[in-house]
Amino acid sequence: YRNIAEALTNGELFCSKLKLCRSPKYSEDSNQAFIDQILKDKPTPKPEASKEDLEIIKFLGVADIHLDYHYKEGHNGDCGLPTCCQSDNDIPDDISKRAGKWGYVGECDVPKRLFDDWIDEEVDKYDFDFMIWLGDNGGHDLWKQTPDNHLLSSMHIAEKMKKKFPHIGQVYPVVGNHEGFP
């Protein structure tokens, strides 16, 4: 702080900066020579490609499927646990809290029938060149997971994709944060 305070209170510096001194003690240095030296080898920018020259690549990104093999229609979708809508959850009196046939917005993972229907019926509506499959295949019910049923979700999804997309160039699977067995 001392150097800053001295600079701010130095009359000679202000006199020089404001160009009011007859014989300034300070002069402005130009950094232009330094800048020119650094940029002398800078490549010439390429002209921007026209939109007609660009190849459009389309991909489908699929993430966080979280298949639930224990999903049970009608069971509690708001049970207070990390995963609800399962057969060991009660059937609530409040109909709005019951898991639906195709899923429930809340603490529920995806029913297998929803994923199967989506991949069998809906995916054909998308036009894409390749797929990025971002993992997170198994359910959030970690206390029920075993190596076998964890692998079951990934294998089921992989088989469905393999069967459904033989025409696309590639499916790029990525391991999600739920793929490691707890």
pTM here is 0.66
Percent of the chain surpassing pLDDT 90? 32
Q: Given this model, what pLDDT does residue 8 score? A: 65
**Reduced 3-state DSSP string for 8-39:** HCCHHHHHHHCCCCCCCCCCCCCCHHHHHHHH
Mean of pLDDT values over 148-153: 86
Mean confidence (pLDDT) of the chain: 85
What are the tens digits of pLDDT across the range 5-54?
776 677 777 677 777 777 877 677 778 888 888 899 888 888 887 888 88
Asked if the model's pLDDT at residue 110 lies above 90, the reply is: yes
Q: Are 76 and 90 in contact (CB under 8 A)?
A: yes
Q: Given this model, what pLDDT does residue 1 score? A: 47
CA 126-127-128 angle, 5° bins: 110
Asked if the model's pLDDT at residue 63 lies above 50, the reply is: yes
What are the tens digits of pLDDT across the range 77-89?
999 988 999 999 9
Q: Place 129 in a pLDDT band, splitting at 50, 70 and 90.
A: confident
